[in-house]
Chain A
Amino acid sequence: MRVLSFFKSVKLAIALILVLAASSVIGTLFPQDLPPHRGVLEYGESGYRVLEFLGVFDLYHSGWFRLLVVLLAVNILVCSTSRLRRTYRLVMWKGGTGHGEAPAGLPLRRTREMDESPDVLLPRLGERVRRLGLRVRFEGEGTLRADRGGIGRWGPGLSHLGFLVIISGMVIGSITGFRGNLDLLEGETDNRVYLRSGEIVDLPFEIRCDSFEATFYEGTARPKEYASRLAVVEGGEERLEKRIEVNDPLKYRGYWFYQSTYGTLGPAPGEGWIDLAVQPEDVLIHLEMGERKPIEGTADEVELLRFEPDFVMDENREVTSRSEQIRNPAAQIRVYREGKPVFRQWVFGQFPDVHPRAEIAHVFSLTGYETREFTGLQVAYDPGVPVVWVGCGFLILGLFLSFTVPHRRFWARVERRGGGATLRVAAGSRGGGRFFEESIDSLLEELSKEDARS
């Protein structure tokens, strides 16, 4: 019970919300999912370890951030359920004070002495209150009650329920769902999705890419459309075909396939070819990957070892590709003289004569290479998504009810006093009460005037 009353506090909710807000700021100050070696470079060995322990590099999935969300969820659950009974009683006019007394929770109280009898006064009052848009009910014994917008009282409960449903949907998604990448060359079929964690998920069907197309606005480098023609193949049969583009994914059995990236692959180990021009012999050699061919008119041979689409050399003189786009194509070749390897060399597509070797007397240049377009698909499987949308619906509907439907209540009792009557009135409104109270006062004013006239 002590724990329950701890969580039954709006102050706690406000504190938790603000702490969550402040914590979220931290996550935007540090790069999320930073590779460890970059982190050590940036923050130093021990600095990185401390920050890593605090979870700042994956803040929104860290234990303490999740704990805060759970605390807030429990807080909301306890507060909302404990309010349910109160809301029900308010909407249904249950409870309140003794017989003939105004119900609780109606702050506006007025008492008027009238000259006319209750039998005339009560219907007249009822008619005026009805004109305010309230539903009027006569309770007998000179009592009247009227209300409108009781549904608005359920708004806060509904929006808080929505918040909890959204969190449940996120939990469902993180347990049962996954997100990953699937790169397909044109014409290729595959079902293996690479997750960010390094895991590989095998889809229960295969995806084939029939073509990829990137178009640009005329005369500019501004991209206009990225589109892939995909087909779903299941048990050897084609089930579905769709041309996807950014903002228009393919959906099949709960799996969504998005146009995410694209690129051009050059020759890869074991496949592909290049064209190599050799000077001063002025010959063109077509080389398959790993192939060795003689240079015509000489006793030398050349072999294609490797190809990188976006050549870059790091501080340890290791060669890699900076990207999967062909930006700085380079081929590594090896030259043989009299059957023996003499030297290796990188030949660049964009810089033809970077390293001519005088002693060899050949100048090589890369004049062509095989290219294959690939499309980069993002694959998502998340059964939590519909749950999240339901939660969002509750949240928005709940806020609408809370902010736009004021619950207005009016209660009156007319008691005979001599030839006239005593009129007691109580009224209240949830949200924007000022206008309602003003209209009740002017209503009483008019009623008194009419009473005086008769």
Chain B
Amino acid sequence: MSATPVWIAVMLYMVATAVYLARLFSGRERWGRAGCWILAAGLGLHTVGILLRWVEKCRLVEADRPAGWLGQITFVMENAPLANLYESMVFFSWSIVLVFLLLDRKYGLDMLGAAVSPLAAVVVALVSVLPGVSGEIEPHIPALQSYWLTIHVVTCFLAYAAFAISFVTSIIYLSSGADRKAEQGKMSKTTLEEINYNTATVGFLMLTIGIVTGAVWANYAWGSYWSWDNKETWSLITWFIYAALLHARLVASLKGKWMAILSIVGFGAVLFTFFGVNYLLPGLHSYL
């Protein structure tokens, strides 16, 4: 039941892709605004889908619902639909669209819509392709029964989403010509550089909070705030790469091109942290 709105949202993201492409080729800003509204509608449905699943998950363990408002909040946060690969991919896609729309309001990113919208659609579509991904609703194992689950996972995925947009910007930056001024229907390299930096700062701040909240949680659950678990280590590697990116802006010879390269490498590290660690390396984060 909760999956249907999400799939409709995916279709809307595909429609938005087409509209954003029209904006790119026609050069008319009207198309960009239309794409933005279609994405927003998709995001609304996506949100409904996630909330429906959240309610279903809470119902599943209804018998354990504690009394008192604090207990209620804890209970709801413990049962957030963020506990396995299926749920996190659906949420990753949601984060990409949300962060894109927010940053679009601030920096005017509609030129990137044609690349970001299909990304959001593909992430959800992947759940039906990847091996071992089940959409079944299951109650949480003891290790995940903590309100830190919601705080930790949400901040991490907001970071990943910002990095995804930084990645798309960097690809466009490297593939556009040497001319630093804006050509007809294209963004100038200086603007792309600025967007790359600004999205990276948003992602870096969120990733830092994500790692710290993960450490606080680990200190409650595993008896150590840092155990060099493979997922922890890869999140730190990602953090290092983006730290290098932010500092590269201070060095004239590294500004621009190297920031774009680091953003692409950094997003590779993000993907490895998310998927690679689970498929290729053993570790404590075995549930996700």
Contacts and interface: CB of A to CB of B under 8 A. Distances in A.
A258 B217 CA distance: 13
B220 A24 contact: no
Nearest to A32: B228
Given A246-B145, A260-B223, A395 B139 contact: no
Given A14-B247, A18-B241, A224-B139, A28 B234 contact: yes
B142 A226 contact: yes
Contacts of B143: 246-247
A380 B223 contact: yes
A179 interface: yes
Contacts of B254: 11, 14
Interface stretch (A231-239, A318-326, A357-365, A396-404): A396-404
Given A28-B234, A247-B145, A258 B212 contact: no
Given A224-B139, A247-B143, A247-B146, A13 B220 contact: no
B11 interface: no
Contacts of A14: 244, 247-248, 251, 254
B171 interface: no
Interface stretch (B1-9, B178-186, B194-202): B194-202
Interface in B179-223: 194, 198, 201-202, 204-205, 208-209, 212, 215-216, 219-223
Question: Interface extent on A, as a size class?
Answer: 35 or more
A25 B142 CA distance: 30
B236 A24 contact: yes
Interface in A202-231: 217, 222-226
B233 A24 contact: yes
A10 B225 CA distance: 29
A183 interface: no
B142 A223 contact: yes
Given A10-B251, A17-B247, A247-B220, A24 B141 contact: no
B263 to A, nearest CB: 14
A11 B208 contact: no
- Most A-side CB within 10 Å, residue of B202, B219, B251: B219
A278 interface: no
A453 interface: no
Centre residue among B139, B225, B251 by max chain A CB count within 10 A: B225
Contacts of A223: 141-142
A172 B94 CA distance: 41
B224 interface: yes
Contact of A21 (B204, B237, B277): B237
A27 B139 contact: no
B240 interface: yes
A388 B234 CA distance: 20
A38 interface: no
Contacts of B70: none
A366 B219 CA distance: 43
A17 B240 contact: yes
A71 interface: no
A222 B139 contact: yes
B243 interface: yes
A150 B268 CA distance: 36
Contacts of B194: 432, 434
Contact of B247 (A13, A246, A399): A13
A388 B225 contact: yes
Contact of A256 (B198, B223, B269): B223
Contacts of B215: 388, 392
Interface in B130-181: 138-139, 141-143, 145-146
B84 interface: no
Contacts of B208: 395-396, 399
A247 B223 contact: no
A396 B239 CA distance: 13
Contacts of A375: none
B250 interface: yes
A72 to B, nearest CB: 10
A245 interface: yes
B221 A246 contact: yes
A352 B139 CA distance: 37
Contacts of A24: 233, 236-237, 240
A259 B146 CA distance: 14
B281 interface: yes
B230 interface: yes
Interface in A1-25: 10-11, 13-14, 17-18, 20-21, 24-25
Q: Which of A17, A170, A378, A389 has the most CB of B within 10 A?
A: A17
A308 B220 CA distance: 34
A41 B210 CA distance: 39
B223 A403 contact: no
Contact of A225 (B142, B221, B230, B250): B142
B236 to A, nearest CB: 6
Contacts of B205: 396, 399-400, 403
A23 to B, nearest CB: 9
Given A60-B228, A395-B212, A396-B212, A21 B142 contact: no
Nearest to A245: B142
A226 B243 CA distance: 40
A380 B224 contact: yes
A370 interface: no
A248 interface: yes
Given A24-B236, A378-B222, 14 more contacts: A11-B251, A18-B244, A28-B233, A28-B234, A60-B228, A222-B139, A258-B223, A260-B223, A388-B225, A396-B212, A399-B205, A400-B205, A432-B198, A434-B194
13 contacts: A21-B244, A24-B236, A27-B233, A28-B277, A32-B228, A222-B138, A224-B142, A225-B145, A380-B223, A389-B216, A392-B212, A399-B204, A403-B204
Interface of B: 138-139, 141-143, 145-146, 194, 198, 201-202, 204-205, 208-209, 212, 215-216, 219-226, 228, 230, 233-234, 236-237, 240-241, 243-244, 247-248, 250-251, 254, 269, 277, 281
Top-5 shortest CB links A-B: A21-B240, A246-B142, A378-B223, A258-B223, A247-B146
